[in-house]
Amino acid sequence: MIIKDRLMRHMKIMLFAVVAIFMGMILVPQTCVSQGSPSVDYAWLARELRALGSDPTPLQVQNFLSTLEASSGGKPAISVLKDFKTATEKSSTGKEKWMEFSSSEQGVMSVIRDTLLASVAENLKIRAKKGLLGSAVAVGYSGKWTIKTKQELTFDSDFDATLFAEIMGDSNPFKSENILAEINRDVSRKLGVSKAENLSIVLTGSGFEAVADVYVSSGGKKWAVRESMNKLYMIEANGSIRDISHVPETLFATMHERLLVRYYPQLADAQTGKLRKGLSPTEIQRVIETTGEKIPGTYKIFKEGARFNRQDAATASLDMIFHTSEVADATTPQEAFAKIAKQAARSSEVFIEGMRTAPIWNNDRLLTAEDRALMRALADYEKGKIKLSAHKRSFAVARSKLPDDPELWTKGQAEQLQGILNEMEAAAVEFRAKAAPIESMMDPNDKSQTKFREKMVELMKKQAVAAHFYHIQEIINAPSEQRPKPFWISTGN
């Protein structure tokens, strides 16, 4: 009877969320308008950017950013640069005028990217030698910034890095003695700013997603690891990193095993310190139920595994609705469109997989045929964009290893590069076909993309309603032993 009461209470909460979405009670943060940077001399800024050119040295960028921050009146350096770009593009010559500075924009952002990547690698090795890695397990870089070519980097680029650790205390970015805090200090010093965030560098610790303003839901966090972390590395005992970018499931399995060993030492092999071989899921669950749930709730995604489920679909859509507010940081209509489209595309990816077994794909009660077609088109659009960026990066890296003069290439080198170029061009053709129906919705004259944002938010609200409905139905139809347990059983209290 108690279990049934708990279940009904759970259902009421879920249903309230659905009704709130449907009635428009869940509001999307409003777009903010930048107020500009009046304390900065734009004439000076223009001269400095011209002087930097396309290949500035790290020292040149450090001096430039240090001076810029000192004269910004407390405004983050990257915000000043975005304001300058917006003001320049609004001038009489518009985009043609900004072309004068675009190579410097790319050069500065390339140095920021390289500095961050080098700092992470260096600090992990230094800490390993000192025995200060703690329970660090992996590091991941979210977004396309790691695979973009230099020419694709702009002031709108974000640099997101996440540290995964068994103990939340070790991934806390605010503890001065921790890895992330040390990396923040190192990057800030090398780039001449007071803190890395002033350059759109976001250093997140697992379990601290909310304070970093990144995805906080189970669906959002799973999506970030699986789809957004184009570069994902396991941290070895000596501080070196091992690439698992193509098998993110490795992180889920490794984290789950290490968490079980840490919080339930009776499951560990006394000699190896690893999970005992031959343990069945039933035996593991019996130990957990006997001793109580000890693994922090924020780490439950590693227990569930990498695949999206209905609850992920329900939570991710809401998470990503709120992140459409990032449009406020865009400097052009194209950037605003991209920021909105990627949230709707990500929500659609999670929904399509998480709802794969729900009886939703052949009826129009909660989603119309047009809604479902748009979801698939958005998901294909985002995947195509990531695929093309990866091919462009591969081509740029391969070309950079060859002599500038093609006459000096061997036949094998020329054929290899041509093969990569062919793949990139094929990916471009494929992407353009997928992009056409989505990008036709962009208003080139609206910097905020108001109508497109409204359309995408409405689609994600429908996804949330449908996912919550079928998730609750899934709970009701499940055998009693598989339903959510009362609080005191699931936590041991």
Q: Give backbone dihedrals phi and psi of 134, rounded to 5 degrees, phi first.
A: 60, -135
Phi–psi pair at 424, nearest 5 degrees: -65, -45
Q: Does residue 34 register a pLDDT over 50?
A: no
d(CA 374, CA 308): 20
What are the CB-based long-range contacts (under 8 Å, 24+) for 259-267?
259/166, 259/295, 259/299, 259/302, 259/303, 260/284, 260/295, 262/135, 262/166, 262/167, 263/294, 263/295, 264/288, 264/291, 264/294, 266/291
Res 271: pLDDT: 87
- Tell me the CA distances in angstroms from 419 to 34, 180, 287, 415, 424, one per residue in order: 45, 40, 54, 6, 9
387-431: pLDDT as tens digits = 898 888 889 889 988 998 999 999 999 999 999 999 999 999 999
How far apart, in whole angstroms, are the C-alpha atoms of residue 169 and residue 239? 19
Closest of 181, 434, 228 to residue 323, by C-alpha: 228
Spatial CB neighbours of 404, under 8 Å, sequence gap ≥ 6: none
Question: Averaged over 138-154, what is the pLDDT?
Answer: 90
Query: What pLDDT does residue 8 have?
Result: 46
C-beta of residue 98 within 8 angstroms of C-beta of residue 45: no
**Is residue 141 within 8 Å of residue 231, measured between CB atoms?**
yes
- Region 457-471: mean pLDDT is 93
Do 159 and 199 contact (CB within 8 A), yes or no?
yes
Q: Phi and psi dihedrals of 210, rounded to 5?
A: -65, -40
Q: Which helix (H) or strand (E) holds 310?
A: helix 310-322
- Cα separation, 245 vs 317, in Å, equals 25
Instruction: Measure Cα distances from 238 to 128, 136, 294 in Å.
Output: 5, 12, 29
Closest to 76 in 3D by CA, of 178, 152, 188, 163: 188
Give 229-282 pLDDT, tens digit per residue. 989 999 999 999 999 999 999 999 999 999 999 999 999 988 888 999 889 888
- Average pLDDT of the chain to the nearest whole number: 86
Residue 13: predicted pLDDT: 41
Instruction: Give the lowest-confidence range in 87-101, 171-185, 309-323, 475-489.
Output: 475-489
pTM of the model: 0.78
For residue 489, give both structure tokens: 């059983």
Task: Calculate the CA 11 to chain-centre distance.
Answer: 30
DSSP code at position 324: G
Q: Can you say how many angstroms the Cα of residue 242 is from the centroid of all Cα atoms in its chain? A: 20
CB 62 within 8 A of CB 104: no
